[in-house]
Amino acid sequence: MKIKKGDKVKILLGKDRGKEGKVEFVLGKKQRVFVGGANLYKRHVKKQGTIEGGIIDIPKSLNISNVALICPNCSKTTRVGFKMVGNEKMRICKKCKKEIKTDAKT
pLDDT in tens, 57-100: 999 999 999 999 999 999 999 999 999 988 989 999 999 999 99
Contact between 9 and 67 under an 8 Å Cβ cutoff? The reply is yes
Query: In the chain, what percentage of residues exceed pLDDT 90?
Result: 81
Q: Residue 105's pLDDT is what?
A: 56
- What's the sign of the alpha-carbon dihedral 40, 43, 48, 53? positive
User: Number of folded domains in the chain?
Assistant: 1
CATH of the domain at 41: 2.30.30.30
Determine the structural domain holding residue 42 and report its residue range: 8-93
Q: Does residue 46 belong to any structural domain of this protein?
A: yes
Q: Does residue 104 belong to any structural domain of this protein?
A: no
Q: Does residue 73 belong to any structural domain of this protein?
A: yes
Q: Does residue 60 belong to any structural domain of this protein?
A: yes
The pTM is what?
Answer: 0.82
Q: Does residue 98 belong to any structural domain of this protein?
A: no
Q: Does residue 103 belong to any structural domain of this protein?
A: no
Cα–Cα distance measured from residue 44 to residue 36, given in angstroms and rounded to the nearest whole number: 21
Cα–Cα distance measured from residue 32 to residue 92, given in angstroms and rounded to the nearest whole number: 21
Provide DSSP, 10-76: EE-SSTTTT-EEEEEEEETTTTEEEETT-SEEEEEE--BTTBPPEEEEEE--EEGGGEEEEPTTT-S
